[in-house]
Amino acid sequence: MYFQDRYLSEEQRMMRDTSRQYVDNVVIPFIQQNRLREWDMDPNARLAPNILEQAEAAGLRALCVPDRFGGIALDPASQSQTMAIIATELARGDSGLADKLVQNWKISVLIAQFAPEHLQEYWFTRYMNEPQFLMAHCLTEPHGASDRWLPYNVPEINMDTKAVLEGDEWVINGRKQFISNGFDATLYVVYANTDNSVGMQKGTSSFLVPRDTPGLEVTNCNETIGGRFMNNGEIVFDDCRVPADHLLVLNDALGKAGIYFRPGKVLVAAKSLGIGVGAYEETVKFVHDRVQGGKPIIQHQAVALRLADMATRLEAVAALLRHAALAVDENSPDADALCNMVKVFASHEIVKVCEHAMELHGGYGAMLEVGIEKYMRDALINLHSDGTSDVSNFKIVRAMFPETSGKYAG
């Protein structure tokens, strides 16, 4: 079921098994023994340090770091597929943890492609030596998020965050919101407007900004209903100065970040699938162990119908996920449509899977100490993660019918 051996290379099978062992032996026991820990209002106290330390020991933090720095450089021909397999396994244990690591993988790809060699050497060396080192991708702003990705490109939708070159330094001013890993990251990739005379697609640049840079302030940890082991944050830039060589991409940062955005949507779908698999596995155990009416409840027709529906939805999500990840890796013409399709489809289908899981657990489904409700909370986050469903659907139609689709806004 889901990622079966017949779909995997030997390397992918080994990575899946390593991820599965880590989740079964480290992550799930931690979650089960600390049901209330995610609700600690001190963000630094939520995830035990040994969780990332064990991820480091398993090689899961090193993905996409160039091998010359001790990392695991994935085969570009199957990179999205491999990351999807691993992200699914991690999210089966905890989606917030999966998101922590996924952000690091995606940003490692950007740094490896666009950062100068001396910065790669410095930051990848630090990253590999510090298990708690996290990275964040600062794109979303308080006044613009998914709507900025609608199929029009005018100066009015430009980033509110601005960067101006003064001598040999870039000066950044602005605010970023809803940033994954934003509260506790050590290194940020920041997107800012550098040419206000053109649209966002042609006037946005990206920069490497260390957390300890004067003028960078982390102002808040956003308290979400799910995915709470990833600390989502808000960041303010007030005359934040970085050296000129910290520029990654000038003006075409959004175009060049295609290596980030397409796999990102595949990984949101993979995290959704992992949540659904976790909910399903817990429910399978429950319906075999729970006895009502003198027999295990799996023998009741109403239970059997829901369980079959859960399994079917999971298989459908997994099939589309494999298809979309392959299209992204092959850079096929339908990749844009498929990566948005799987993101939307998976997020909605997995919410339904989690609804069945809660119903089949009866009153236990709503109890914090049982943990089934956590799958539902985590699943709901992915409905809008990496773009809302409506905007994603607009982009699907635009990708399929570029000559005839409407602008939908603007």
**What per-residue confidence (pLDDT) applies to 1?**
57
CA 112 to chain centre: 19
Angle at CA of residue 318, ends 313 and 319, nearest 5°: 100
Place of tokens 């302030």: 217
**What per-residue confidence (pLDDT) applies to 410?**
38
**What per-residue confidence (pLDDT) applies to 363?**
95
- Domains, the chain, in order of start with CATH, read 5-132 (1.10.540.10), 136-253 (2.40.110.10), 256-400 (1.20.140.10)
Q: What is the largest CA-CA distance in the chain?
A: 80
**What per-residue confidence (pLDDT) applies to 147?**
59
For residue 212, give the nearest of 133, 142, 159, 139 by alpha carbon: 133
Judge residue 148's burial from the number of C-beta atoms within 10 Å of its C-beta, 0-12 exposed, 13-18 middle, 19 or more buried: buried
Task: Give me 126's structure tokens.
Answer: 């630090």
SS3 assignment for 334-385: CHHHHHHHHHHHHHHHHHHHHHHHHHHCHHHHHCCCCCHHHHHHHHHHCCCC
Which DSSP state fits 47? S
Question: What are the DSSP calls for 17-43, one per residue?
Answer: HHHHHHIIIIIHHHHHH-TTGGG-SSG
SS3 assignment for 50-112: HHHHHHHHCCCCCECCCHHHCCECCCHHHHHHHHHHHHHHHHHHCHHHHHHHHHHHHHHHHHH
**What per-residue confidence (pLDDT) applies to 154?**
58
For residue 291, which phi and psi values (nearest 5 degrees)? -110, 125
CA 67 to chain centre: 23
Strands annotated E in 126-180: 135-138, 162-166, 169-179
- Ramachandran region, residue 288 (left: φ > 0; alpha: ψ -120 to 50; beta: rest): alpha
Which DSSP state fits 273? H
**What per-residue confidence (pLDDT) applies to 408?**
63
For residue 22, which phi and psi values (nearest 5 degrees)? -60, -45
**Any bridge partners for residue 299, and if so which?**
none
**What per-residue confidence (pLDDT) applies to 255?**
82
Report the chain (410 residues): mean pLDDT per 10 consecutive residues: 78 94 98 95 94 96 94 92 96 97 94 95 97 95 67 66 96 96 97 86 92 96 95 97 96 79 92 98 97 94 97 97 96 94 98 98 94 97 89 89 74
Instruction: Give yes or no for a contact between 180 and 136, defined as CB atoms under 8 angstroms apart.
Output: yes
